[in-house]
Amino acid sequence: MKLDLGKVFFFILLLVLSTMTAMAGNIKGTVLDKQTKEPLTGATIQITGTAQGVVADIDGNYTLNVNDGTYTITVRYIGYKDILLNSIKVKAETLLNFEMESDAQTLGEVSVVAKKNLEGERALQMERQKATLAIENLGAKEMSIKGISNVEEGVKKITGISIASAGQLIVRGLGDRYSTTTLNGLPIASPNPDNKLIPLDIFPASTVQNITVSKVYDASAFADYSGAHIDISTKENVGSDFLSISFNAGGKFNTLGKDFYRMDRDGSLFKTPSLDQKLIDMSLTDFEEYARHNRLFNTSFQVSKKTALPEFGGNIGFGKRFTLGGNEVSVLGSIGVSNDLQTMDNASIRTLEATGNTLNEFNYDSYSNELKIAALGNLGYSFRTSDHIGYTFFYARNAIDTYMRREGVDYEDHHLIGSNNVTHIYSLQNHQVNGKHYFGKQWDLNWSGSYSKTSSDEPDRRQVMFIREDDQIKLFKLNRQETMRYFGSLNEDEWVGDLTASYRFGDNNKLQAGFTYKDKNRDYMGTRFYYNLNKLNPTITDIYDTDSFLNMENVENGSITIDRKKQPKDSYTAGNSIYAGYIATEYYPVAPLLVNLGVRYEISKQWVDYYTDGGKAERSELNKNDLFPSLNMKYQMNEKNSLRFAFSRTVTRPSFIEMAPFLYQESYGSAQIRGNADLQNGYNYNIDLRYELFEKNGDMLSITAYYKHLKAPIERVQTLSGGSAVHSFRNADNGMATGVEIEFRKEIVKDLRFGVNGSYMYTNVKLPEGGAYTNSQRALQGASPYLANADLTYSPAFSNDRQLSVALLYNLQGPRIHSVGISGLGDIKQQPVHTLNFTGSYRFNRRFAVKLQVNDLLNQDILFKQEVPTTGDKVEVERFRKGTGFEVGFSYDL
């Protein structure tokens, strides 16, 4: 008889699991206040005489896993009488609910400071309902159920928010410059010179407790946002001890097992390649002599072909709580690593002339390999029952290496072939300390500080251009810049300090005052190396095989010369210091009406040291002192319904490269940008009106109307210089953004929930005179007139901690301006994008769970069209498809 090893293995596994299930039991239930029936978050349920116990969650629920047997159980909560139960027999699952009585004597002697576990949807919805400001939030548990892997994917599910190219955040039609990002309430710098916000995909879901988005302003925050304030709260250990391990594997169907091309690389993506500093420091004469006899770089232009393997990822995390000197200490740590492979075949891009005829057109294949690393550490220390200090460390590294082969015809009818490689590495290192102290019932003091170090490295961008003539492939040598290398680095440091004091008076009123300081400094440098190939005429049969002619032998014999282009204008330093103070009050003139009124004063000093095209050192400065008032009101009509109103004045400051009038190019082939020393701050006047309905079962409805008047907004304009477009920046006269947002969540039947949100918006800006753009006024760049999200989740729970979670997520991004039209051509618009994702997971017990996720089930082409006013046509100018991907994984909790 033939033995089926698969069946034998399955039988053994089933037997082991059955045995484990039979031996293990649990005690579960709810802890409530006996009089009010409110859940007692943080109550401890403990096996008497042991260290084994659990803490009740935000809903008062708990699960205590034990072996079958007889136990004595103690339930404790500060200000309540202990409950002691003897001889409790546990077999399989035992249900024990507790109702605790308050202890009047003890209650009068202590102040209770509870830490909530703000990861669950229910807990966050309660926070949202009670919040002074109108907020929207998303927690770790909801992100897990819906298969959201990082913060960027999470905020895209929030009403009125979309993600444009290069990860730029668009909120209510307002671009990157109108929003701000904080980590645990403290600002974080962006490593991207063209974006104000740090790339949000740098924060994996495994390190996030929750995401809170506020689209209204209050005086306690820096005033440089009118779109949204996105606060990322990292995880901390507020529950029982844990150790968790997870692993996943997957890939994209158009990539996995297929050919994957890669240009020669200096080590793995764990390493950041570096350029020998002496190549930059030596004089040009010394460099030319040195380059003829020495190998300058650790990489070549050679391209290799491999088979795309599956993607892998893993995470390990732990948490521990213990007592030190009678005080509580909590520790949490997490580290995760993952990679991503992306192939895009037969993509296309073209440029039009004013008549609508094609100026140049290229097809391309691209192959991207991405590595993501994230680590989180948190240490908390509580003492005197009402004081807490903490330290948080966060590290992230995103490295992406992309090879592209493109072929097509340029505006002079050259049949060109390009071999390009770009490596871009973003990193963030953030240290935070904070403290919370309570002095009696009326006073409290909060302080915090952080240091962030970010970097953006492009360590070895390479390009070789070929031309096809008479059925032969030759090197393209039009202006000696077609074969080149580029090295660029940007580093930014940011220090933040914050001190806030609060005084409570009356029943619920509060007066708050604070001081904040922020200091940011940036250093940028770029160097280019051009290969002069005029003396080189090799026979080329394969563009991937370049070592036979782009080699050291041809450098030494003079067939190749390498020129270094390092000019003063290829570097700059910049900084921004802000001193701010504010005062605000939360006051109830009548019981249902909360009035939050505040004013903030900011002293901002911003500067850029740069060099002109001629090499002259210059400094551009923008120093302003501003007052920013804010008003937030909430009228609680009854327990479920409330109205909110908000008004504020905020600021939009130019970025560093926007206020320096030198010709800047982040890298070869990217847009040329010239800043404007005459730029001034833009100021925004914001009005919001929101209705909210919250049901106890988690159902909710929110309707928001908003209007924003943009005074002297900063807009990117395009001018013509030498026949090519140069991007610059000017203050427009004015602009506006208005719209309506709706959010709805409903439990259809038990465990089956439906959620939908949508927004409709109108934006307009009047552009300043003097640009080469076609339209004098238009919608804001990146703004979609409509956005929508919908999700359907089914999460039934079974006995013995078994649970099934299934979710289907849909996202719609309406058409939006991708690039502003110039010289008689209309705007390039990205066409509507529909996305559908599926995720499912099953937890076998409290320790083991499996997961399946499929992304982009619709597998839709991303399509861009340009308007041609002379003909009235809309012509396709770009198309690509990312492909459907899948992921399977498991997690194990010890």
- Tell me, what CATH number does 195's domain have? 2.170.130.10
Gap between the Cα atoms of 163 and 491, Å rounded: 25
User: What local confidence, expressed as pLDDT, does residue 772 receive?
Assistant: 66
Q: Note whether 517 and 547 are same-domain residues.
A: yes
CA distance 786 to 762: 9
233 pLDDT more than 70: yes
Judgement on whether residues 64 and 132 belong to the same structural domain of the protein: no
Q: In this structure, are strands 242-252 and 885-893 parallel, antiparallel, or unpaired? A: antiparallel
Ramachandran angles phi, psi of 470, nearest 5°: 50, 45
- As a whole number of angstroms, the distance between CA 613 and CA 567 comes to 9
**What is the average pLDDT score of the chain?**
87
pLDDT digits (tens, 9 = 90+) for 815-844: 998 877 777 888 889 999 999 999 999 999
User: Is residue 437 scored above 80 in pLDDT?
Assistant: yes
Pairwise pLDDT comparison (706 vs 571), residue with the higher score: 706
- Residue 807 CA to residue 224 CA, distance in Å, equals 36
Token couple for 795: 């999460």
pLDDT band of 846, cuts 50, 70, 90: confident
Q: Is residue 381 packed enough to be buried (19+ CB in 10 Å), middle (13-18) or exposed (0-12)?
A: middle
Of 235, 270, 290, the one marking the end of a domain is: 235
Query: Residue 724's pLDDT band (boundaries 50, 70, 90)?
Result: low
Asked if 718 and 654 sit in the same domain, the reply is: yes
Contact of 239 with 55, CB cutoff 8 Å: yes
Task: Return the closest-CA partner of residue 332 out of 375, 374, 372, 373.
Answer: 375
Mark whether 270 and 167 lie in a shared domain. Answer: no
The verdict on residue 365 lying in a domain is no
Query: What is the arithmetic mean of pLDDT over 423-431?
Result: 93
pLDDT value at residue 467: 94
Angle, CA 369 vertex, CA 343 and CA 403 arms, to 5°: 65
pLDDT at residue 144 tops 60: yes
Is 265 part of any domain? Answer: yes
- The tens digit of pLDDT for each residue in 182-192 reads 999 998 877 77
Distance, C-alpha 299 to centroid of its chain: 32
Q: Are residues 51 and 132 in the same domain?
A: no
Three-state SS annotation for 778-845: ECCCCCCCEEEEEEEEECCECCCCCEEEEEEEEEEECCEEEECCECCCCCEEECCEEEEEEEEEEECC
Strands 561-565 and 53-55, sheet pairing: unpaired
What's the CATH code of the domain at 604?
A: 2.40.170.20
Closest CA to 593 of 633, 630, 632: 633
* pLDDT single digits (tens) 679-700: 899 999 999 999 999 988 889 9
Q: Could you report the per-residue pLDDT of 614-673, keeping only the tens digit for each? A: 889 999 999 999 999 999 999 999 989 999 999 999 999 998 888 878 776 544 444 677
CATH code for the domain in which residue 19 is found: 2.60.40.1120
CA distances from 803 to 65, 121, 291, 846, 894 (A): 16, 16, 65, 9, 18
How many Å apart are CA 736 and CA 326, to the nearest integer?
57
Instruction: Based on the fold, state whether residues 134 and 256 are members of the same structural domain.
Output: no
Q: What is the pLDDT of residue 864?
A: 92
Q: Which of 491, 497, 519 is nearest to 605 (CA)?
A: 519
**How far is CA 639 from each of CA 120, 164, 588, 643, rounded to the nearest angstrom?**
21, 39, 16, 12
What's the mean pLDDT in 194-210?
85
Structure tokens at 580: 């701010």
Distance CA(22)–CA(39), nearest Å, equals 31
Q: Is residue 536 part of a domain?
A: yes
What's the pLDDT at 820?
A: 79
What pLDDT shows up at residue 38? 67
The closest alpha carbon to 73, from 107, 40, 97, 103, belongs to: 97
Task: Choose the final residue of a domain: 200, 235, 270.
Answer: 235
For residue 367, being part of any structural domain is answered with: no
**Could you give the CA distance from residue 734 to residue 711 in angstroms, rounded to a whole number?**
5
Distance CA 240, CA 56 (A): 10
Residues 72 and 126 in one domain: no
Query: Cα separations (Å) of 595 from 228, 647, 855?
Result: 21, 12, 44
Q: Is residue 739 part of a domain?
A: yes
Pairing of strands 443-469, 415-439: antiparallel
The neighbour count for residue 53, using CB atoms within 10 Å, is: 17
Structure tokens at 839: 């995720």
Kindly state whether residues 261 and 171 are assigned to the same domain: no
Which domain, by its residues, includes 666? Answer: 248-360+380-432+439-893
Residue 232: pLDDT band with limits 50, 70, 90 = very high
CA-to-CA dists, residue 222 to 174, 183, 186, 854, angstroms = 18, 13, 10, 39
Contact between 196 and 177 (Cβ < 8 Å): yes
Q: Whats the size of the chain, residue-wise?
A: 894
Gap between the Cα atoms of 648 and 708, Å rounded:
10
Residue 204 pLDDT greater than 80, yes or no:
yes
Closest by CA position to 531, among listed 480, 465, 577 = 480
From CA 743, how far away is CA 759, in angstroms rounded?
9
For the residues 100-127, what does the mean pLDDT come to?
A: 61
> Quick one: pLDDT at residue 35?
63
Least confident of 38-52, 158-172, 498-512, 713-727: 713-727
- Beta strand residue intervals within 506-592, DSSP E: 509-532, 561-565, 571-590
pLDDT in tens, 734-770: 899 999 999 999 999 988 999 999 999 999 988 777 6
Cα gap 180→197, rounded to integer Å: 6
Q: How many domains does the chain have?
A: 3
pLDDT in tens, 851-894: 999 999 999 999 999 888 888 889 999 999 999 999 999 999 88
Residues 272 and 230 in one domain: no
CA–CA gap between residue 384 and residue 476 (Å, rounded): 74
Q: Is the pLDDT score of 166 beyond 80?
A: no
* Shared domain check, 284 and 141: no
Q: Where are the beta strands (DSSP E) in 184-258?
A: 186-187, 208-214, 229-234, 242-252
Give how far the C-alpha of residue 493 lies from the chain's centroid of Cα atoms, to the nearest Å: 19
Residues of the chain above pLDDT 90, percent: 56
Full-model pTM: 0.84
Long-range Cβ contact pairs of 66-73 (< 8 A, separation 24 or more): 66/24, 66/25, 66/26, 66/27, 66/90, 67/23, 67/24, 67/25, 68/23, 68/24, 68/25, 68/92, 71/27, 71/47, 72/47, 72/48, 73/27, 73/45, 73/46, 73/47, 73/48
Q: Which pLDDT score is estimated for 182?
A: 92
Q: Residue 814 CA to chain centroid, in angstroms?
A: 21
pLDDT for 79 equals 64
Of 28-37, 549-558, 714-723, 730-739, the one with minimum mean pLDDT is: 714-723
242 in a structural domain: no
Sign of the torsion angle spanned by Cα atoms 355, 360, 363, 365: negative
Residues in CB range of 190: below 8 A, 6 or more apart:
181, 196, 197, 198, 199, 454, 492
Strand partners, 215: none
**In whole angstroms, how far apart are CA 143 and each of 292, 677, 805?**
56, 44, 12
Residue 326, token pair as written in the block: 């009678």
Residue 603 has pLDDT above 70, yes or no: yes
With a cut of 70, say whether residue 125 has pLDDT above it: yes
**Is residue 306 included in any domain, yes or no?**
yes
Q: Are residues 257 and 225 in the same domain?
A: no
pLDDT of 1 above 60:
no
12-32: per-residue pLDDT in tens?
Answer: 444 444 444 444 578 888 888
285-343: per-residue pLDDT in tens?
999 999 999 999 999 999 999 999 999 999 999 998 888 888 889 999 999 999 999 99
Q: Write the Ramachandran bin of 388: left for phi over 0, alpha for psi from -120 to 50, otherwise beta.
A: beta
As a whole number, mean pLDDT of residues 129-144 equals: 88
End-of-domain residue from the set 54, 78, 107: 107
Question: Which amino acid is located at 187 in the chain?
Answer: P
Give the per-residue pLDDT at 641.
94
Please indicate, yes or no, if residue 372 is contained in any of the structural domains. Answer: no
Helix (H, G, I), strand (E, B) or coil at 555: helix
Residue 6 confidence (pLDDT): 47
In terms of C-beta density within 10 A (0-12 exposed, 13-18 middle, 19 or more buried), how is residue 481 classed? middle
- Do 725 and 822 lie in one domain? The reply is yes
Instruction: Average the pLDDT over 365-373 and give the result.
Output: 95
Q: Is 165 helix (H, G, I), strand (E, B) or coil?
A: helix
Give the range among 28-37, 205-214, 354-363 with minimum mean pLDDT: 28-37
Structure tokens at 700: 């909710």
